[in-house]
Structure 1
């Protein structure tokens, strides 16, 4: 009995000790949980996500943020018969003066440019030929200086220009109406054989709007194929958005803000003064300043400004800038990296864009950006030239 009582007392004391110890432990400062350091994400991991989760881009202040995007579907819904009429007119020298066509400068086999310093018209032009790929997104800002607001306006100026096609849009309907094949094409497009200038210009516009670039390696990457870009291209994408600050002007699906900027290269190979009222041209001094956007707006602040070009298939569209003064893309990247120092024969006309800054890209970083720009290319689809009426 005595032993049993001792045992009970021992158990009670032991339980009391356990309770006291537990209470004291509960009142003590809890131990900090062990934090296991997580490995830093690789660049590929950082970009293997939705665009909204990519590393922050280096945007300048007062910039409308517009991230990079995949190529959208061409929204043009023009009927096939209208496009067929426009295609015939596009490749037909009779649309102009019988010597030059729209395709004389916009070759389908060379990404819709002529690969020359300045446009190869009837006479020497002062500006480089822009590509027609994805031209549907340029409505309202046509030509390098954005002076044409509509496709009709832009196409009519090209046809009537004595240094481009040397034609006469006013006389064009009567000339084509005498050709039975064109009567059939026009009737198929408009259910009428009575041709009008507007109808013919709209047909060329419809064909121009149908010209689109194709899917690229970058498009596959941004849609979720995160191995599509190689390491150099991925590094270039990151530099394009961050240290290089290229994204400030080259953004969105077409890599352009569609705005006008002064890069400080205003001298042309040849310069033509344009009288917008009578479309009279006169070649003046070699290397004279091109006023750019000023010619369309008459605003001093627009002197020397030109529309930001899109970058899809840019590696195939040399030479570069509105005057074709830069022969290679690697040279242009190097100049932009240094803040666009003026080469011999070039000067600033107006005020240089504040976006032009010396970002001091190394040679390797420039190579990676070039590699990224190569990822914006696609193999062009074959364009069959039409059998002309």
Structure 2
């Protein structure tokens, strides 16, 4: 199904907007973004209802939760959380959205559209400015979005054996320059160019892969696992693009998106959840899990738990993350044994089983230890 993707979830926006340590202009920008985020979310829900798709797994939320944007609206000394202009929205299209697109898109293509700073989400994706095999655009952001989507599709094809996210050559349409104050995905006082971040783009497109391969209800632990799987594929793509091993990588997502004056080094860390940007809500141990009302039951807050387990597994096995921990997790994803409301315990058990099959009993012991270290005790 078509998906509206934004990179800043509501709970991060809320955090940025309400942090007294942020300059006034940053707080106001985050508040504006939060209001637009809420409007777009409501519009998306209305779309699902009118299109008769309300029964499917819920669309994933934005990459940066809105409570964090509310906090950045409270941080001092920073011109903004993220610098620059224009990022990217990834719209994974189905037949309906392709029919509504301004330019006919071949099934295997990737197209980047320019929204020209408009704010009417109903006319997304905008005007097509670069399509498959076309010449480079004079707009650097367009080219970055196009090239990085290409890197993700290359990984899917060469490593996962997939043609697009669904193995049906479905087109990927990205939109850049949405609005002037929509900080959740585009530039203003604290947003940097997400189009330049291949791991962020990999994260967003990989939500569609998960939805097609192993749908996970987007709430609570299953929703956190939904976010987790996108984070896993994001870091793997990022590491492969940089030709890094698990030991060489910094395990960050969205690095270089923050202004130098902001406390933080990236948007997310698998190595130390909650430390990439000052957002202590993100936890890395199941002992800190609490039933939450915001953020769809804490899907971003608690994704740090399986994220840390994956990091520990990759480091214990060493070498190529894709060839070790990634291989195990991918085996779990395509096993057909992930329930819609999968718990951390169920997923941990499955990865231990897959580790035994893929890499042997010694590897399985390391996977079990990683889950033990984050408070999810394997039951296999």
TM range (shorter): under 0.3
TM-score, scaled to structure 1: 0.24
**Greater share of residues in helix:** 2
TM-score, scaled to structure 2: 0.24
